[in-house]
A and B are shown apart, each in its own frame.
Chain A
């Protein structure tokens, strides 16, 4: 616009013009980023090789627009309604000018090379090293959170590993013989746009994709997210809805639904429970959980019982005693589950995989490290029993 074309002395017109200019300048990076994320820059070329992602919010999926510039999140069971400018409970999604944006797209704050056992996944390429990725934010408030330093923050508050380049990262993983990518530590399901897109991209390179999640998600987004992953660990945090409300800050039923969904979608599923002394270590509770797992997911679903280390808001509790974990494992086995592991406590016989038929050790571990793998084509070499899992 040419300033000379304006009526001289029209103060209102000048203010309107500068206002529009300012708004355009402010929204330009967002619009540019939206085009980037949606792959609309450069057509097919952008789709095949996304540009390195710079810091800043990206358009989110799974929400509905409401009147007055409000938006309603359709991602997790909270169904939050956000006023313009308001940040979601998860600290990842925000209503920016009537549009739901995510702050986590291409903004991981943790990148580690981890053994797959740390996920925890015991029956999925057990010797594989994965690129463990996490961004800040979580839609739960577990009082015992073991990763609270970044799960209880927004990606806008953490030092992120940027620019995050999909192609370069996948290429580095290949050149370093990293078997796959794992979204873990925090809730990748708060940013299914990033987790799904990057996992899907890695799939093009033959890399394995695993997800560790609380499963506190709506059916449709979880179903969409699962399409990009091959194996999932879902944390089944406690036996009752009361426990979920008091300690976790959520509800139980959506989690149970997610576990069933992951199973019916044909994904390799393992379940993990952090055993917190006095909160979810009762015999009745553990028995109920074990029975639910067997009845709904099958006796062959691995169950990882993890040791709690005093963190976040439960510094007053002791680490889970060894005996509690051993008792919990026995409860799982007595309930008919075939693969019950003790995790975060090593060395321990509960770290190993045993043949459910002959009882011999098949995969021997020291913590998350595999020391010996005796499986032959996914079967016990001693009695021939097939061991469920994805072994090679």
Chain B
């Protein structure tokens, strides 16, 4: 028989052992959930990208011959990427050097004073060498991608290039019977026209009581969903909006119908972010620019390859029938 004291010790040990096991099991469970989450997250992102690519391809109305040529160029682009990975041995060496050198530098400056002497000098040299290698690699890839993009421009018609330029990725492209050219979420004034119609229907007394609030709401929407504004910009936007909305309300039905598109343009938020992005892309020094333009990113990505292969296979099947 165990004494009560010994029994207590055994029980406590068992409890501790069980607790540790549970904790390990818990950790294992969390880790599995985490990995599952990551897997699903990646898959969702891949599917979104594929859907967006298919929407673009559907909007371009490519011929089979164009599809074949784009597929070939996308495969060449993939080879360029693969070559870049294989050729990155020297870059890897430089990265290892940088890892060691930066770790030493970090240790040194953690002491609380700026680093002096050999350590920072070596870190600077390694940094310079690494940047040089990266720039060299980027330039090499950019040159090859540029050549492929040039060929891609030759494959598409000017109208198709315009569609790529205007394309905004989306899951479900809105139906727009008024403009068959729209692909993806490309800009439309319809939402703004509908808003103006609703605002015109508000009785005058209610409008007078609410007009500022409505204008502020539109400004807030632009600020939160399209681009951030300074306080001065918000005030200016509100004044401009109120003038447009009042003008729209004062018009006769006929005048409004004739002017609705122009009025909508005045209240629709301009895509400043897109313009800024384009400007940044154009102004960045060559080495820091993305290796591909919008066109290349849209149609020479790795994910387009299986999509085009499938489309061509479907076409062949349809023709065989």
Contact = CB atoms under 8 A, between A and B. Distances in A.
Do they bind each other? yes
Interface of A: 111-114, 118, 131, 146, 161-162, 164-165, 168-169, 172, 176, 178, 307, 309, 322-323, 343-349, 364, 366-369, 371
Contact of A146 (B158, B160, B177, B258): B177
Interface in B138-159: 157-159
A111 B257 contact: yes
Contact of A367 (B160, B180, B254, B257): B180
Contacts of A371: 158-159
A168 B258 contact: no
A280 to B, nearest CB: 19
A124 to B, nearest CB: 20
Interface on chain A toward B: helix, strand, loop, or mixed SS? mixed
Interface string B284-302: 0000000000000000000
A368 B61 CA distance: 16
A148 to B, nearest CB: 11
Contacts of B318: 323
A36 B146 CA distance: 69
Interface string B255-289: 10110010000000000000000000000000000
B257 A112 contact: yes
B254 A165 contact: yes
Contacts of B157: 347, 349
A346 B61 contact: yes
A144 B154 CA distance: 38
A172 B175 contact: no
B254 A161 contact: yes
28 contacts: A111-B254, A112-B178, A113-B261, A118-B178, A131-B258, A146-B177, A161-B253, A161-B254, A161-B257, A165-B254, A169-B254, A172-B254, A178-B258, A309-B175, A309-B177, A343-B180, A344-B180, A345-B180, A346-B61, A346-B180, A346-B181, A347-B157, A366-B159, A366-B162, A367-B179, A367-B180, A368-B179, A369-B181
Contacts of A364: 159
B73 interface: no
Given A309-B175, A366-B159, A366-B162, A347 B254 contact: no
Contact of A168 (B175, B177, B181, B254): B254
B305 interface: no
A364 B159 CA distance: 9
A181 to B, nearest CB: 12
B255 A172 contact: yes
B307 interface: no
Interface size class of B (residues with CB under 8 A): 20 to 34
Interface in B106-162: 157-160, 162
B61 A322 contact: yes
A222 to B, nearest CB: 27
Interface in B156-206: 157-160, 162-163, 175, 177-181
Most buried by A among B162, B177, B254: B254
Contact of A348 (B61, B254, B257, B315): B61
B56 interface: no
Contacts of B179: 367-368
Interface in B218-276: 253-255, 257-258, 261
Contacts of B253: 161-162
A367 B181 contact: yes
Nearest to B160: A347
A178 B315 CA distance: 44
B55 to A, nearest CB: 13
B74 interface: no
B297 to A, nearest CB: 20
Contacts of B61: 322, 345-348
Contacts of A346: 61, 159, 180-181
Contacts of B175: 309
Contacts of A349: 157
Interface string B46-72: 000000000000001100000000000
B258 A113 contact: yes
A171 to B, nearest CB: 11
A307 B258 CA distance: 27
A368 B179 CA distance: 8
Contacts of B177: 146, 309, 344
A202 to B, nearest CB: 14
A366 B254 contact: no
Most buried by B among A114, A168, A176, A347: A347
Contacts of A369: 181
Contacts of A348: 61
A22 to B, nearest CB: 32
Contacts of A323: 315, 318
Nearest to A160: B253
